[in-house]
Amino acid sequence: GQSSQPIRCKAAVCRAAGEPLVIEEIVVDPPKAHEVRIKIVCTSLCHSDVTFWRMQVGLSRPFSLCVPPSIDRSDGPSRPKWDFPAVFPRIFGHEAFGVVESVGEHVEDLATGDAVVPTFLGQCTECVDCGSDRSNVCSKYRFAVRAGLPRDVDGTRFHDRHGAPLSHFLGVSSFSEYTVVDATQVVRVDHAVPPASACLLSCGATTGVGAAWKLAKVEPGSSVAIFGLGAVGLAVAEGARICGASTIIGYPCCETVLNVDYNSDHGGRDIQYNTVDTVGKKFGVTHFINPQELGEKSVSEAIIEITDGGADYCFECIGLASLMNDAFRSSREGWGKTIILGVEMHGAPLSIPSHEILHGKCVMGSLFGGVKPKQDIPILAQKYLNRELELDKFITHEVTLKDINTAFDLLLQGKSLRCTIWM
């Protein structure tokens, strides 16, 4: 039902860039029209939280995704200067599962008690893009990294105990016992899906699985190469496995993602998947490329050798222009597709040899793996319930909200894939 009362609760507040989060008592306003207030059951840390947690005003970041308050990029060619707003203090978190506590006016598809996952991407279901199978980016409420909500871009529903506003993050802000999210960014899921598993469908796992399933449309028997084996990269492997790929090559090329060891007798590390053997068996990766053992060979040469000509599908899951290039070079002439999922961390452009495009290769990218949240997440939830899609193997750790900084440490040290944070 509708509610008009603010709620006092606990949240992990980020007071300044790069600082540990602080557990504070905050006030969460009731949902306004078209909004939903959610009682968060659990949340998890995605690398994008870390990216924007680190972000300091004036330093080089993926600025092109950020929109200063009140200024819409769709205004035309005379774009505003990237005068990045001070977005601290802020409540991070965007991968979560919860239960609807109350709904604002005009919310028709959600009700109190619904089990839901919030998503950073909205689906209004009415615009041209939402009505087309060719797009998953709602054009009515365009995605941008901003301080407020899609219909109230400067607004916030959070205040600290002194009444000072706390910014939203990706319209979700799930590191709080309660949050307010636009109804276009809330997806109902089957109550049968356990909270920690449903939570994974909210961002990382869906992005990777979706990229293989919806965007690349990987066919049985095909070859897939994955650049970067964090949660998104391994979710691509999971999607490729479900689609029946027969060769899945993993290139764990970045120290900020899961530390895998090539020496399988290495022990004593505080993680479950510390060897290529365990990762291979758990996630269906059939070949690994050890960056340390490449010698004179490039990663692309190694992949071309394994696949006898180049992989059918190459996925970039880190956000580095040079790696996007490696992925492109590793794809097969004639039909190779390179799929970009990483957000380029220096804002660098991608340059590719144009004549190779003439030879039939293509590059594509997407937000959220091409998944339409309200349409496709319930399908993934059903695949999970049918035991077709495996999600639980992505959960390597769990903590309670008071220990949320441990989740940051684990991710930064490459020790975790997903750490469930219980409210």
Summarize as ranges the residues that interact with ligand CXF (CB under 6 A).
46, 48, 65, 120, 145, 203, 343, 367
Cβ distance to ligand CXF smaller for residue 367 or 379 = 367
65 binds, among ligand CXF, Zn ion, none (CB under 5 to 8 A by kind): ligand CXF
- Which does residue 340 touch among ligand CXF, Zn ion, none (CB within 5 to 8 A, set by kind)? none
| Residue 199 Cα distances to 65, 204, 403, angstroms | 24, 9, 18
The 8-class DSSP code of residue 172 comes to T
Residue 394 interaction partner, one of ligand CXF, Zn ion, none, beta carbon < 5-8 Å per kind: none
Task: Return the number of other C-beta atoms located less than 10 Å from residue 167's C-beta.
Answer: 22
In order of 18, 63, 85, 112, the CA distances from 58 in angstroms are 14, 10, 10, 42
Q: Which is nearer to Zn ion, 48 or 102 (CB)?
A: 48
Is residue 396 a contact point for Zn ion (CB under 5 A)?
no
Strands 35-44 and 418-422: antiparallel
Please tell me the distance from the alpha carbon of residue 263 to that of residue 66, in angstroms, as a whole number.
42
Task: With beta carbons less than 8 A apart as the criterion, state whether 21 and 405 touch.
Answer: yes
Nearer to ligand CXF, 167 or 330 (CB): 167
Binding window for Zn ion (CB under 5 A); candidates: 79-87, 108-116, 144-152, 200-208:
200-208
234 sits near Zn ion (criterion: CB under 5 A):
no
Query: Does 48 contact Zn ion by CB under 5 A?
Result: yes
Closest by Cα among 200, 228, 185 to 327: 228
- Which residue, 201 or 304, is less far from ligand CXF as judged by CB? 201
CA separation for the pair 317, 324 (Å, rounded) = 9
145 binds, among ligand CXF, Zn ion, none (CB under 5 to 8 A by kind): ligand CXF
Q: Does 167 bind Zn ion (CB under 5 A)?
A: no
CB of 46 vs ligand CXF, minimal distance in Å: 5
CB nearer to ligand CXF: give 27 or 367: 367
Least CB distance from residue 126 to Zn ion, whole Å? 25
**Cis preceding-peptide flag for 80 (omega within 30 of 0):** no
Out of 14, 28, 46, 200, the only residue in the binding site for Zn ion (CB under 5 A) is 46
Q: How far apart are the C-alpha atoms of 180 and 39, rounded to whole Å? A: 9
Q: State the minimum distance, in angstroms, from the CB of residue 49 to ligand CXF.
A: 8
Residue 371 Cβ, how far from ligand CXF at the closest point, in Å?
A: 11
Contact yes or no for 370/394 (Cβ under 8 A): no
Q: Does 381 bind Zn ion (CB under 5 A)?
A: no
Rounded Cα gap, residues 51 and 47, in angstroms:
6
Tell me the residue nearest to ligand CXF as measured from the CB: 48
CB of 120 to Zn ion, least distance (A): 6
Contacts of 322 (CB under 8 A, 6+ apart): none
Helix (H) or strand (E) holding 241: helix 231-243
Q: Looking at 48-56, 124-132, 361-369, 371-379, which segment touches Zn ion (CB under 5 A)?
A: 48-56
Check if the beta carbon of residue 102 is closer than 8 Å to that of residue 30: yes
Is residue 183 within 8 A of residue 109, CB to CB? The reply is yes
Contact at 8 Å (CB) between 260 and 279? yes
Binding mask 322-351 for Zn ion (x = CB under 5 A): ------------------------------
143 vs 273, which CB is nearer to ligand CXF? 143
Distance CA 112, CA 103 (A): 7
Distance of closest approach, residue 203 Cβ to ligand CXF, in angstroms: 5
The nearer residue to ligand CXF, 202 or 300, going by C-beta atoms, is 202
Contact residues toward Zn ion (CB under 5 A) are: 46, 48, 203
